[in-house]
Amino acid sequence: MAVKVMMPKGSDTMTEGKVLKWLKNEGDAISTGDAVVEIETDKVNMEVEAMGSGVLRKILVAPNKVVPVGELLAVIGKADEDISALVKTDGAGAGGVRSPESGVRSQQPEVRSPGSGVRSPEPGVSTQPSVVAQGASLSNSTQHLAPSPSPAVGGRVLASPLAKRMAKEMGLEIAEIPGTGPNGRIIRQDVERRAAMAPAPQAAAVGAVGVPAPSLPPAPLPPRRPAPSPTGPEFTDEPLSSMRKVIATRLVQSKAPVPHFYLTIEVNMQRAKELRESANLLDPELKLSYNDIILKACAAALRQNPEVNASFQGESIRYHHRVNLGMAVATDGGGLITPVLRNADTKSLAEISRESKELAGRARTRKLLPEEYAGSTFSISNLGMMGIDEFSAVINPPEGAILAVGAVAEKPVVVDGRVEAGLRCRLTLSCDHRVVDGATGATFLQSLKQIIENPVYLAF
Amino acid sequence: MSILTYREALNQAMREEMHRDENIVLMGEEVGFYNGAYKVSKGLLEEFGPMRVLDTPITELGFTGLGVGAAMSGLRPIVEMMTFNFSMLALDQIVNSAAKMLYMSGGQFPIPLVVRGPGGAGHQLGAQHSQALEAWFCHVPGLKVVAPATPADAKGLLKTSIRDNNPVVFIESEVLYGTRGEVPEGEHLIPLGVADIKRPGRDVTIVAHSKMVLVALDAAADLASEGIEAEVVDPRTLRPLDTGAIVNSVKKTNRVVIVEEGWEYCGVGAQFVDVIQRSAFDYLDAPILRVTGVDVPMPYAKNLEHLVQPDKARVKDAVYRVLYRQ
C-alpha cells in the first residue's frame, strides 16, 4: 500500500513549513525510517522520515516551497503500484488532510513502534510533535523501550485514558509499565504500583557527612528542600489566596502582561575560577565554563528556593517539581531559541557541561527537536561572553523568573578598607511579581551567590 | 418534615400548587371521581371542584391537545397519563404541538404544561404496558424530562415542573408509588437540571434514575460490605441534564456504571456515556458499562419479567467488571 509523506506539525504554533531539500530522488528505494526530506519549521530544521518502505514514486513539492501542515509532499509505493488516485485526490484537496496525525495514523498503523502512540517526548511539554516528528526520534526511543516489552496489540500500547494521563504526569514511560487489565491493558493500579516502586532519586541518597572547609562562612548549610524527584508528580497547583489574587490583578494592571522587576547581585567568582581550573586540569576534555558552574549553582539554588521555580497560571501558581533550565542561545543567522536542560538539579557538573554544550551547538544550527526546547521552568540568559557587564532579561512566559548573567571580569574591590583586584560577575534576576516577591527573589539570589562563592556546596 | 409515600408527595405537590395558583387544572382518565387509577389525585376533585379537576374520555391525543390549547390560553394544565405507555397516542400533541409552539410562534406562546404519570414496568402488565420510554421524550428539543426516585424529589420536582413555563414530561413509577420517605412541608422546590448524590463513594460511580436508584442503592449497600464504595448519582432531571455532577463524580471515581430500566439501544444512558467520554476522557480507567432492560418486549411470565429488568446482581456484576475484579 502506498505511503504518504506529509508536512508534519513540528510544534503547536506551526501552520506551514518549507521544503528545504529532498534527501532522496524519485525512484530511490526507501526503507521505513529513512530520512526523505529536510524541512524548515517556524523553529527548527528537521528531517521527515519515511513511515513505510517502497520506492519514492513521486515528489510533489519542490525545494524552497512553503506548504501548509498536512500537505502531501511525496508518495512512497511499490514500483508498479497505481498511485494516480492518491496523488490526484490529495493534490486537489489538501484540506482533507488537515490533521496530519490522523491522516498518517490511519494509513500507517503498522509502522508505529510499540509505545510511540502514547509516548510523550517529555512530561509537561506543551509542544505536540506530530507522529512524523516522533518517528524522527524513534531511533533513540526504541533503545529506552527495549528492556521491558509492553503489552502492545497491533503496535499500540493498551492503556486506559486515566493511566496514560497519570503516567505522563508522573513522568513514567507508559510502555514500560506492565498492564494487568483485559488484554494487558495498563490501568490506574498498574501506574500506581510502578510509581511506588520507582527508585529513590540519587540526590536523596546524599548523606550529611560532608565536612565544610575551614574557610567557609560559619552559617549552616541552607536547609534542604524536598528531594528532587524525577518520578513524583510533575507539579503542585496551589489555589491563589485572596491576597495573592489581588496582587496578581493589580500588578498586571500596572505593567501588562508580565509585571517585571529586577534584582542585581554581584558575585565573587574567585572560587568558581579555582574550581574551573582544577576541573579542567583533571579532565581537559571537559572544558568546564563559568556558565556551566552558574547553571549548576542555579539549579541547586532553585531547589533551595522552589518559590522561584514557579509559573503564574491565572487562578493558581504552579510550583514545578522539576528543575528544567532553559538556556537562551542565539541562533546562526539571527533569532534565539531556548533549549532545555532537564532535571538540571540531579545532574553532575560534568553532565551539565557536556549536555549544555551539545544542546547549544545544535540550537545554534537549528537542529533541535521540538521537545528539546519546550517545558523549561526557569531560564538563564548569558551575555557575559559578549562583554556585557549586566543586563535585564525578559521573562520567558509562563516562567516566573529569568537570570541574566553578565561578564566575569577583574575589577577593583574594597576588602577591609583597601582596594584590591577582584574577580566579579553581576547577576540580574527578572521576576514576575505575580509569582515572586522582592524578598523571595532576593533570597534566591543570596542562595545563588552563596553557592557560587562556595562551590563546595555543589558537592552536597 | 413528615414521612409520606411517593404517591402522597405527588398529591401534596399538586394540592399545594392548585391552592397557590387557580390557573392550574388537572385532567386525565379517572383523575376525578375515581381519585386516579393510582390514587395520585385523591381528594382533588372534592377540594377543587369539576372546573379544575376534569375526567376525560379515553382519548390521549384529544385531551393532551386540549391541554396544549389551555396552556396557550393562559391556564397551567397538568395532564395525567394513566401510564406513559398511553402517551404514545399523544405523541403528536406532545412533540409537534407542546414542544414546538413557543419556537414556531416566535416566542408568543409558552406552554406551561405538565404531562405526568407512571412509566416503566409494573407487575405483569405485559409487553405493551411495561415500557420505560423516557429516551423518546429526551430526544426532543423543547421538552424537559423529569424522573424522580424518592418522595421528597417527587414533591419538589413536581412543584417546580408545574411552575415551569415549558412543557415538562414528568415520569413517575408505579412501583415507587408506595415507597415512603421524609418529605419537607410546604414550599419545597427542587430546580430542574440539578442531580443529587444519593450515596457518596470513591470507587465507582453508578448513575441511575427513577426506580433504578433503589436498585443502585441496594447494590451499593452490598458492595460496601465488600469494601467497594459506590457513589450513586441520580440525575433526577434527564433533560436538561446535570452533566457537571456526573462528570465530577467520574473524575473522583474513574469508573462508571449506568443503570436504566429502558432498552439499551439509544437509551438515555447512551447520552450519559457520550457526556462522560467527552468531558472526562482522561479520567476513565475502564470502559463505561451500562445495565439496561434486556432488548426484548417485556414478557408476561413473572420469572422472565424479573430477568428482563436490571437488578442488584447485574449492577454488582457491572461494578466488578469496571473495577477489573472479574
CATH of residue B286's domain is 3.40.50.920
* Cβ–Cβ gap B324/A162 under 8 Å: no
Three-state DSSP state, A292 = helix
Cell of A119: 509516548
pLDDT single digits (tens) B126-142: 999 999 999 999 999 99
Interface of B to A at Cβ within 8 Å reads 254, 281-286, 324
pLDDT at position A243, please? Answer: 57
Cα–Cα distance between A283 and A122 in angstroms, integer? 31
CA angle, A364 then A369 then A371, to 5°: 120
pLDDT single digits (tens) B258-279: 999 999 999 999 999 999 999 9
At residue A105 the predicted structure's pLDDT band, cuts being 50, 70 and 90, is very low
Let me know whether B211 and B288 are in one domain.
Answer: yes
Q: Are the beta carbons of A397 and A378 closer than 8 angstroms?
A: no
> What are the DSSP calls for A231-265, one per residue?
SS-SEEEEEPPHHHHHHHHHHHHHSSS--EEEEEE
User: What's the whole-number mean pLDDT along residues A213-238?
Assistant: 57
Let me know whether A253 and A357 are in one domain.
Answer: yes
pLDDT at A136 over 60: no
- Cβ–Cβ contact A223 with B under 8 A: no
Average confidence score pLDDT of chain B = 97
Let me know whether B178 and B55 are in one domain.
Answer: yes
- Residue A104, φ and ψ in degrees, nearest 5: -70, -40
The strand pairing partners of A68, in sequence order, are: A16
The strand pairing partners of A153, in sequence order, are: A156
pTM for the predicted model, two decimal places: 0.52
User: What's the whole-number mean pLDDT along residues A136-145?
Assistant: 33
pLDDT at position B163, please? Answer: 98
pLDDT at position A90, please? Answer: 45
* Cβ–Cβ gap A161/B324 under 8 Å: no
A435: Cβ contacts below 8 Å, ≥ 6 apart = A307, A310, A311, A312, A317, A400, A401
User: What's the whole-number mean pLDDT along residues A404-412?
Assistant: 92
The strand pairing partners of A409, in sequence order, are: A424
B100 torsion bin: left (phi>0), alpha (psi -120 to 50), beta (else): alpha
Let me know whether A38 and A182 are in one domain.
Answer: no
Cα–Cα distance between B70 and A119 in angstroms, integer? 63
pLDDT at position A45, please? Answer: 79
Q: Is A120 exposed, middle or buried (0-12, 13-18, 19+ CB in 10 A)?
A: middle
B129 is catalytic: yes
Cα–Cα distance between A415 and A423 in angstroms, integer? 13
| More confidently predicted of A258 and A150 | A258
User: What's the whole-number mean pLDDT along residues A115-138?
Assistant: 35
Let me know whether B15 and B107 are in one domain.
Answer: yes
User: What's the whole-number mean pLDDT along residues A240-257?
Assistant: 58
pLDDT at position A129, please? Answer: 35
Which of B156, B183, B210 terminates a domain? The answer is B183
Three-state DSSP state, A1 = coil
pLDDT at position B266, please? Answer: 97
Cis previous bond, A257, omega within 30: yes
**Is B70 a domain residue?**
yes
Domain of residue A73: give its range. 1-111
pLDDT single digits (tens) A291-341: 999 999 999 999 999 999 999 888 889 999 999 999 988 877 667 788 999
* Best mutation target, A168, A174, A186, A188, to test chain B (most B CBs within 10 A): A188
pLDDT single digits (tens) A363-380: 888 788 878 888 899 999
ipTM above 0.90, yes or no: no
* Cβ–Cβ gap A182/B324 under 8 Å: yes
Up-side HSE of residue A204: CA atoms within 13 Å toward CB?
9
Let me know whether A371 and A306 are in one domain.
Answer: yes
Active-site annotation holder among B8, B16, B29, B60: B60
Most confident of A105-119, A216-230, A318-332: A318-332
Let me know whether A269 and A394 are in one domain.
Answer: yes
Which of B183, B207, B223 terminates a domain? The answer is B183
Return the number of other C-beta atoms located less than 10 Å from residue A324's C-beta.
Answer: 25
Cα–Cα distance between B195 and B119 in angstroms, integer? 20
Q: How many residues does chain B have?
A: 326
pLDDT single digits (tens) A154-164: 567 889 999 99
pLDDT at position B278, please? Answer: 94
Question: How near does any CA of chain A get to the CA of B275, in Å?
Answer: 15
Q: Are the beta carbons of B115 and B87 closer than 8 angstroms?
A: yes
Average confidence score pLDDT of chain A = 75
Question: How near does any CA of chain A get to the CA of B323, in Å?
Answer: 10
Which of B152, B183, B214 terminates a domain? The answer is B183
Q: Kindly identify which residue of chain A lies nearest to residue B252, measuring between CA atoms.
A: A162
Let me know whether B206 and B122 are in one domain.
Answer: no
pLDDT at B59 over 50: yes
Total number of domains constituting chain A: 3
Domain of residue B236: give its range. 196-322
pLDDT single digits (tens) B72-127: 999 999 999 999 999 999 999 999 999 999 999 999 999 999 999 999 999 999 99
Q: Are the beta carbons of A103 and A4 closer than 8 angstroms?
A: yes
**Is A141 a domain residue?**
yes
